Structure 1
Amino acid sequence: MPIKLLRSMRAAAVTLGLVAVAGCSEPELQVPVYQVEPDTLVHKVHTEGELFAVNSVTISAPRNVQGPRFIASLAKEYSRVEPGDVVVTFDATQLERSQRKASSSLSSVQADEQQKLAEQQKEQKALGLDQTLIAQEFNFADRFSIDDVQIRSRLEILDSMQNKEYLGEKQEYLGWQEQSFAQRSSGELELLQLQRGQQQSLLQQAESGLAALEVKAPHAGILLFDTNWRGEKPEVGGMVFPGSKIGSIPDLSLQHLKLQVIEQEAIGLAAGQRVTFYLAAWPDQILNGSIVSVAAVAQSRERRDPRKYIEVIVAPEQQNPNFMPGIKVIATLWVTEKPEILKVPLQAIFSEQQQLYVYKRNGSGFVKQPISIGSKSLSHAQISTGLAAGDEIALINPES
């Protein structure tokens, strides 16, 4: 094909394209509107949770013993227990060994205490005899002391005076020795009494532990075991530490709902509000209840979930035979129900300099209309002032 002919065809194609574009006009933008009419404002929150027993007795290893305990027998988990039924039995071998050791040590300490008392009495008696003898010798030397040089020589008189002085010094020494002996004896006896008290305490702990080898159910319920940090449940032969939780026996006569509501959706929740729910295992049976309490602080539920949740406790209107702790429930919390009010979608409300307004239809255009709002739901808000029934507002900003 000749080059001139090819260029002519290309020029013609470009010209036709420009003509086609010039013939097309941009379509007019259609602004979606909402007509304000009296309606019911409903603010409800959907969430999930589980049942739990309000009254539950914790089964724990006894706290009045030292060292770990070993489980000798366990009742079957999820079995129904009656008041007085034995649910956990602990092994007594270690406690019996501790009892024998404490009893033997206590007997040894008591024997040492008696021996020390006998030795102290003997030594105190000997000191008393020495003091009596020295006192008699001192009185004799003082009574029959003659210092007349015509009767006795000077050497005899000096010897008598030295003997009398010696007896006086010895009498003071015996007094000091008696006082020192009393202090030493008191300290030794206090030490033995402290050792005796320690052994008595160990013996008492062992005896109280032997008396608490069995844990009995205080009321009727279902036996549930707890898992440890490794996800393991108690088993026969397993080791538990004093005070550690083994399980619980919930009272099935009174159960409530524990719901987790996302923090941003929990606005307006309060005690007394109506709740409808159903058990996940029985979705066709709708039950009613009311909020008992709303947690003041939001908490994280899972480490990898950045959201925080508010814990809401709900009391059912009546207990149901299908209620069981741990069963999953799906609930609806009715926060607000206001009939015959004017409401608009939240997306139609705009704000400028702390003033709320909507775009109200005025003929073929829209004008800014200041408004004030009352209650809100997750999607709508109550109009207190600024609009009337029949008004039409834009759902988007027509100026953008």
Structure 2
Amino acid sequence: MALRNSERRLHVISRKTRLRAGQRRLIRGTNHGEFKILIRDRRRLWAGGALLVVAAPLLAGLIVRSRRQGAAGGGALPVATVERRDFVRTLRIHGVIEAIKFHAVAAPRLSGQGGTPMIITRLIPAGARVQPGDLLAEFDRQAQTKNYLDRETEYRDRVEQIRKKKAEETADKVRDERELKEAEHAVEKAALDVKRNEILSRIDAEKNAQSLEEAQARLEQVRRTLRLRQSVVAAEVRILEIQRERDLAAMQNAQRNSERMVIRSPLAGLVVLSTIFKSNGPGEVQEGDEVRPGVPFLQVVDPQSMQVRARVNQVDALSLQAGQKTIVRLDAYPDVVLPGRVHQVAAIALGGSFSDKIRTFPVLFTIEGSDLRTMPDLSAAVDVELDRVPGALVAPRDAVTEESGRHFLRIRSGSGFDKTPVTLGLASENEVVVQSGAPEGAVVLRGRPAAGGAS
């Protein structure tokens, strides 16, 4: 045994000797400056290692101490207070606001013209409040005004032609009446001559009889000619009158077209500009844009009568009934909160967007309040009041734990929390009614209990 120990000592001594010899050889191979740098780096390395060894236990102690203080103090834990107030269970539904009373304004359809686009020269800004009769928009009326003036000129010219034709008819009628009188007088004279045939020769008597026949034929011809001439004149006048009526209708159409180019509000309300398709893509209408006839480009809505249209899934629709109270919130304006009610629930469901197996029911919610920021096409969230328990003890739902079908609340007791069995009532997504087991004002621990936590 002594021999083995001596051999081990000799082996260690020889190993240390070899290491020192190697260090001396390394030092001999370096100059004086490199040797100093080597010694300094080695000292720094030893000093850093010593500092780390000393600081590690201190840092670990501080971490453990802070954790123990946080566990012992109740202020750092998530807690809540059991309050006595009205418990309300709601159902949130998302929809879009639309106006109940509104007037859609479209580009006018002009008489006698096709679908030629019209240029907007004046347009009321969006959000402006208007009264009945206020100007909303005006289109370029130059072509319609020129058309009206041309039709008016043609109408006046036609009226003058009719007046001239009637004057000529009056003059011709006087001449025809004179000619008729002459023919009648000739017949009367020939009839008197025939009466003297008894005292005249046979030849003269035959001449008188022939003159009478000629006079009668002449009278009949004059009468027939007069009737034909009157018919022709009446037809010509009627033609002119028809042309005059047509020109008058064209003039009135041009006038109405010109008046249609100016659009005024029929009711008091708020102006909402619509999105139209332009040459560079969809956008709100502006002055100078071309709009085709019949295309709606703005609305005048009554902000006092608005509603929310939504689609509710088939499960939630069973909880909705007409008359239920609601609270409407605008997504764009979170500070706007308006009361309302469920107005109508559709009796027939509609197919879903992705599958016909998922059915939704259209629902309308009336908004009983009013706000100028309530505009059509804004998204809104509607909270429907399903149940209300007045004066109930309410606790957060995440403070309730369940074990073996029983419910517990972790209620503060001194510096810790005691697990107390409670009886629960109605529950919502965030709150629950405590029927018994917890007093009013009790401080309860929220969240799931940790292993080895409160008992």
Q: Could you tell me the TM-score, scaled by structure 1's length? A: 0.60
Change (3 A) 1:220 1:202: same
Find the counterpart in structure 1 of residue 369 from structure 2. 318
Change (3 A) 1:147 1:61: same
SS in 1 for 2:210: helix
Find the counterpart in structure 2 of residue 280 from structure 1. 331
Q: CA deviation at 1:226?
A: 4.3
Q: Distance in 2 between matches of 1:189 and 1:123?
A: 14
Q: 2:165 aligns with which of 116, 121, 124?
A: 116
Q: CA deviation at 1:259?
A: 1.7
Find the counterpart in structure 2 of residue 175 from structure 1. 223
Q: 2:191 aligns with which of 142, 157, 173?
A: 142
Change (3 A) 1:144 1:297: farther
The letter for the 2-side match of 1:219 is A
RMSD, matched Cα: 3.8
Q: CA deviation at 1:148?
A: 4.1
Between the aligned residues of both structures, percent identity stands at 17
Change (3 A) 1:158 1:55: same
| CA offset digits 1:31-69 (Å, max 9, x no partner) | xxxxxxxxxxx9997643111222223223345754354
> Is the CA contact (8 Å cut-off) linking 1:52 and 1:257 kept in structure 2?
yes
Find the counterpart in structure 1 of residue 97 from structure 2. 51
Q: 2:343 aligns with which of 286, 292, 298?
A: 292
> Is the CA contact (8 Å cut-off) linking 1:81 and 1:223 kept in structure 2?
no
Aligned: 1:125 with 2:174:
yes
Find the counterpart in structure 1 of residue 247 from structure 2. 199
> Is the CA contact (8 Å cut-off) linking 2:349 and 2:359 kept in structure 1?
yes
Query: Which of 1 and 2 has higher RCO (CA within 8 Å, sep 6+)?
Result: 1
Q: CA deviation at 1:139?
A: 0.3
Q: 1:331 aligns with which of 382, 388, 392?
A: 382
Q: Distance in 2 between matches of 1:301 and 1:79?
A: 35
> Is the CA contact (8 Å cut-off) linking 1:271 and 1:293 kept in structure 2?
yes
SS in 2 for 1:253: coil
Structure 1 stretch 184-193 or stretch 217-226: which is displaced more? 217-226
The letter for the 2-side match of 1:106 is Y
Aligned: 1:252 with 2:298:
no
Indicate the structure with greater helix content.
2
Change (3 A) 1:259 1:142: same
> Is the CA contact (8 Å cut-off) linking 1:146 and 1:157 kept in structure 2?
no
Find the counterpart in structure 2 of residue 189 from structure 1. 237
Find the counterpart in structure 1 of residue 421 from structure 2. none
The letter for the 2-side match of 1:124 is K
| CA offset digits 1:260-310 (Å, max 9, x no partner) | 3457865685532344543334669876421223456666797x8757754
Q: 1:93 aligns with which of 135, 142, 158?
A: 142
Q: Distance in 2 between matches of 1:111 and 1:305?
A: 73
Q: Distance in 2 between matches of 1:99 and 1:55?
A: 36
Change (3 A) 1:150 1:210: closer
Change (3 A) 1:142 1:148: closer
Change (3 A) 1:270 1:158: farther
Q: CA deviation at 1:168?
A: 1.6
Change (3 A) 1:266 1:132: farther
5+ residue gaps, structure 2, are: 1-87, 390-455
Q: Could you tell me the TM-score, scaled by structure 2's length? A: 0.54
Change (3 A) 1:171 1:45: farther
Q: CA deviation at 1:88?
A: 1.5
Structure 1 stretch 198-207 or stretch 88-97: which is displaced more? 198-207
The letter for the 2-side match of 1:159 is K
Change (3 A) 1:282 1:233: closer
> Is the CA contact (8 Å cut-off) linking 1:85 and 1:216 kept in structure 2?
yes
Number of aligned residues: 294
| CA offset digits 1:168-195 (Å, max 9, x no partner) | 2232232233333333333322222222
Q: Distance in 2 between matches of 1:263 and 1:116?
A: 79
Q: Distance in 2 between matches of 1:60 and 1:301?
A: 32
Q: Distance in 2 between matches of 1:181 and 1:199?
A: 27
> Is the CA contact (8 Å cut-off) linking 2:162 and 2:237 kept in structure 1?
yes
| CA offset digits 1:67-119 (Å, max 9, x no partner) | 3543213234x343444654322112112211221121112211221221122
> Is the CA contact (8 Å cut-off) linking 1:146 and 1:152 kept in structure 2?
no
Structure 1 stretch 89-98 or stretch 172-181: which is displaced more? 172-181
Q: CA deviation at 1:232?
A: 5.6
5+ residue gaps, structure 1, are: 1-41, 340-400
Q: CA deviation at 1:136?
A: 0.5
Change (3 A) 1:322 1:46: same
